[in-house]
A and B are shown apart, each in its own frame.
Chain A
Amino acid sequence: MPILASLLTEPIGVAHYMVVGAVLFVCGVVCMATKRNALGILMGIELVLNGANVNLVALGSPYLRGESATLMLDGQLMAMFVIVLAAAEAAVALAIALNFYNNFGSIDVDRANQLKG
């Protein structure tokens, strides 16, 4: 794997952060796909979002990409938005989870199949 090999030898750059973001993203997706507990899925979502945030911050950083190639503060701002949205989403999702629990006495997402076609 020549790309991975070069990662290990080169100084820390954007590519390294992206690898971390990708690992976080995949962890989140796997978490979402495997957990039956709704709270676990919410955690997976947070992981996916944060994986994306790492990418955004890394790509927007002037330190990592040099003055000329920078996106200035755009990446960081996008990340801030994602964090705010994640907070809002978490609030809504928790409300849904609570309601779900009230109705079914459980938060097992496999039982939430009322909308199947």
Chain B
Amino acid sequence: MQSARHSTPMNPATTLPTILAIAWLLPLAAFALVWVGYSLPQMAGGRASYGAQRTAGWLATGAIGTSCVLAIVALIIWLTQTAPHEVATVHETAAAHQAASEHMASPPTSYSGIYYTLAQFGKLRISIGYYIDALTIAMFALVTLISTCVHIYSMGYMHEELEDMVDREIATPDGNYYHRPGRYHRFYQYLSLFSFSMLGLLLAGNLAMVFMFWELVGICSYFLIGFYFERPSASYAANKAFIVNRVGDFGMLIGLMALWSCLGTLDFGDSNTPGMFSQLRSEAHQYELDAAAMGSESADTNYLLLFVAGVGLFCGCVGKSAQFPLHTWLPDAMEGPTPVSALVHSATMVAAGVYLVGRCYPIFVPEALLVIAIVGAITLTLAATIAITAYDIKRVLAYSTISQLGYMMLALGLGGWAAGLFHLITHAFFKSLLFLCSGSVIHAVHTNDMRQMGGLRHKMPWTAYTMLIGCLAIIGAGIPALGIGLSGYFSKDAIIEQAWSFARVNESSGYQLLMWLPLGGAFITACYMFRLWFMTFTGMPANTERYDHAHESPRSMVGVLVLLAVFAVGVGWHVPGSKLSVTSLLERARPAGTLETTTGTWLPNLTVPDEHLSHEPQIAIPAGWSAFAMAMGGLLLAAIIYVWRWLRAEEIQQSFSPIHRLFVNAWWFDQLYDWMFVRPALWKSKFFAGIDRYVIDPFVNLLARGTAFLARALDLVVDRKAVDGSINGLARLTWDFGNSLHRLQTGNLRQYVVFIVVGLLGLFAAVSLCWKYALAG
């Protein structure tokens, strides 16, 4: 499976794991240094100075920056040292695809191995391993790059935390704002820990390690959402995120157990023992999914186990990627600082769910893929509808993130492996750009409410126009006839094409919906993104006081915005003069056997089409144009309402007030969960607390009182009377006996002599008697 070009001195099988391991561990080192150097002293009561806190920031940024350089080196090594996989070329026509199909059935280049074995329990080996393929390399470069950008951006954004901070969200009882020492170093500490965990998740060679780092990114997310933990809303949001994720992780554990108990391993690749992928899609079986590998007697049971494993794994992804019905935590997670929202809650961590589905793609049966597609379709529509009514700039972006994650899940579920992961990568760039732009705006006007903004493009042009690029990228702006566009154009078109292709091979009306929902979603996406941009940057300033104080952000922040904008524009493009692009890189990692058109076993009319079929002109052209039309339609609608003001938003709200209420309240999901889970849980705990207080406590108290009474009775009867009485009686007896003897002590010497003589005679008599009878006799 390795490159044929072994003549070069650099062997990627050994260099890549080393380079990526260093890139992975550097942020951990930064975390440890900041913890030992800054957080520990602060816990002991010390206070880090301004300069020292700055150093902490530079330390963390340096570490992740070096990781980024190493990741790019790894990418270059990968591109130059490994032979392009046969599937790598994107086939323009079906004919070419057919011709190449002979070569398709070979697994992609990957390197897997073990850094360190943590423990071995019988068959179960828990190890820190690696599985490196083109997807790992691409994601590594993506995460380190965005993380570096966010680290640099935060130096400007978090500068208030350098010295004593006044939190204007919290009023103390005496009417002032809450004062506290700055936590700049702690922010960087958590960011470093997050980077380490996220990179570990990408590098992981087995699902057990994935799960460990899955939980680590979860706890980092908890720390970062709760960064302003003095605010009740922030600590509430942090708890909510953590608890909702546990629900998903429960399903994930079930999936892991199903896989492990059937396959006896959780390794992705083969190292000494065959991994999951090669067991489930063996070469002998033409890389088709072989349910018999699950080892049970009946074929139905095997299939059911595979389905359970797939859906279980997906449950974890539903939690982490904020899919319906566990999407409610992500909007609240915006309580964290904005750079965190950009890095953790839009670009990387929430995309980990999509990544995991993509990574474990070989184990999903068509029915499990259908579940993924349906959940994705529901999520993307639901979140998009909520986003059009939100006024909080970060909440709009949060719902947009949920919606875009829904797109990715939908694409993966419909068989568009490369489309989904390609959208993950492009989305990471433009969504982190959008979030950092919104952070720049919030930094300038000190509010999240878009109704308080307006006209800001005059005050902060760099932010405004980089954000415009981000908006254009997310709606998939491009010119279908020329085939040029921003990054989102390529990735979103790939998804719509795949949906179109899926709808063409599956006739039933329910499956048609899986095509119409993403198309409708494209319309709504354009509508709410440009609503956001128009409300924030165009028109008259809504609040002149805030407008007057607004200013362009410092150079470190703007520089990052420009860099990300460049990526948001160009990440979907081919490298000039070659066939190399993100798509072709991803194609090199496509799991073996997943490019076949497959049909379901339980649902025979379910067909998951070959992804390359979606590039055929009769699909790609109508799909591309309809996506284009939808996006332009949404943009126009936003312009009509918010620029030309032919329609007034208030009037539309009036005429569609029930629907508006539904959207504004986020479909009442929070209220529903409150009624379904939170309140019953509270009632139950109150009930049991009542039992505790009014039944168990009195019972225990009664027992205690009874014991005390018994003890007092025993004290009176046994201790005082029997024990004390006997001891006192003995003492009195001894005393009386001694008293009666003292009369013998007359002091008369002669009398003593008589006593001696009489005693002697008595003894003599007694001894003679004893002698006679006892001894002599």
- Interface residues of A, Cβ cutoff 8 Å to B: 29, 32-36, 41, 109-110, 112-117
Determine if A109 and B749 form an interchain contact, defined as CB atoms under 8 angstroms apart. yes
B701 within 8 A of A: no
B746 within 8 A of A: yes
Determine if A116 and B753 form an interchain contact, defined as CB atoms under 8 angstroms apart. no
Determine if B747 and A113 form an interchain contact, defined as CB atoms under 8 angstroms apart. yes
B647 within 8 A of A: no
Determine if A33 and B754 form an interchain contact, defined as CB atoms under 8 angstroms apart. yes
Nearest Cβ on chain A to B746's Cβ, whole angstroms: 5
B745 within 8 A of A: yes
For chain B, the count of residues having a C-beta within 8 Å of the partner chain is 13
**Contacts known (A117-B742, A117-B743); A33 close to B748, Cβ less than 8 A:** no
Determine if A113 and B742 form an interchain contact, defined as CB atoms under 8 angstroms apart. no
Taken together as a complex, chains A and B put the C-alpha atoms of A114 and B754 apart, in Å, by 19
Nearest Cβ on chain A to B737's Cβ, whole angstroms: 13
Interface residues of B in 725-757 (CB under 8 A from A): 741-750, 753-754, 757
Q: Can you report 26 A-B residue pairs in the complex whose CB atoms are below 8 A from each other?
A: A29-B757, A32-B750, A32-B753, A33-B750, A33-B754, A33-B757, A34-B750, A36-B750, A41-B749, A41-B750, A109-B749, A109-B750, A110-B749, A110-B750, A112-B747, A112-B749, A113-B747, A115-B745, A115-B747, A116-B746, A117-B741, A117-B742, A117-B743, A117-B744, A117-B746, A117-B747
Write the chain A residue with the least CB distance to B745.
Answer: A117
Nearest Cβ on chain B to A99's Cβ, whole angstroms: 15
Interface of B is mostly: helix
Contact with A along B34-78 (1 / 0, CB 8 A): 000000000000000000000000000000000000000000000
Taken together as a complex, chains A and B put the C-alpha atoms of A29 and B722 apart, in Å, by 52
Set of chain B residues within 8 Å of A33, measured between Cβ atoms:
750, 753-754, 757
Set of chain A residues within 8 Å of B747, measured between Cβ atoms:
112-117
Write the chain A residue with the least CB distance to B754.
Answer: A33
Taken together as a complex, chains A and B put the C-alpha atoms of A36 and B749 apart, in Å, by 9
Nearest Cβ on chain B to A115's Cβ, whole angstroms: 6
Set of chain B residues within 8 Å of A114, measured between Cβ atoms:
747
Taken together as a complex, chains A and B put the C-alpha atoms of A27 and B96 apart, in Å, by 152
Nearest Cβ on chain B to A41's Cβ, whole angstroms: 7
Write the chain B residue with the least CB distance to A26.
Answer: B757
Taken together as a complex, chains A and B put the C-alpha atoms of A35 and B750 apart, in Å, by 8
Nearest Cβ on chain B to A22's Cβ, whole angstroms: 12
Set of chain B residues within 8 Å of A29, measured between Cβ atoms:
753, 757
Nearest Cβ on chain A to B122's Cβ, whole angstroms: 88
Write the chain B residue with the least CB distance to A109.
Answer: B749
Taken together as a complex, chains A and B put the C-alpha atoms of A114 and B741 apart, in Å, by 17
Set of chain A residues within 8 Å of B743, measured between Cβ atoms:
117
Determine if B754 and A116 form an interchain contact, defined as CB atoms under 8 angstroms apart. no
Task: Pick the most buried of B743, B747, B749, B757: most chain A CB atoms within 10 A of its CB.
Answer: B749
Taken together as a complex, chains A and B put the C-alpha atoms of A110 and B748 apart, in Å, by 6
Contact with A along B748-768 (1 / 0, CB 8 A): 111001100100000000000
Given A33-B750, A110-B748: 11 more A-B contacts, CB < 8 Å: A32-B753, A33-B753, A35-B750, A41-B749, A41-B753, A109-B750, A110-B750, A114-B747, A115-B745, A116-B745, A117-B747
Set of chain B residues within 8 Å of A34, measured between Cβ atoms:
750
Task: Pick the most buried of B742, B743, B744, B753: most chain A CB atoms within 10 A of its CB.
Answer: B753
Task: Pick the most buried of A114, A115, A116: most chain B CB atoms within 10 A of its CB.
Answer: A116
Write the chain B residue with the least CB distance to A33.
Answer: B753
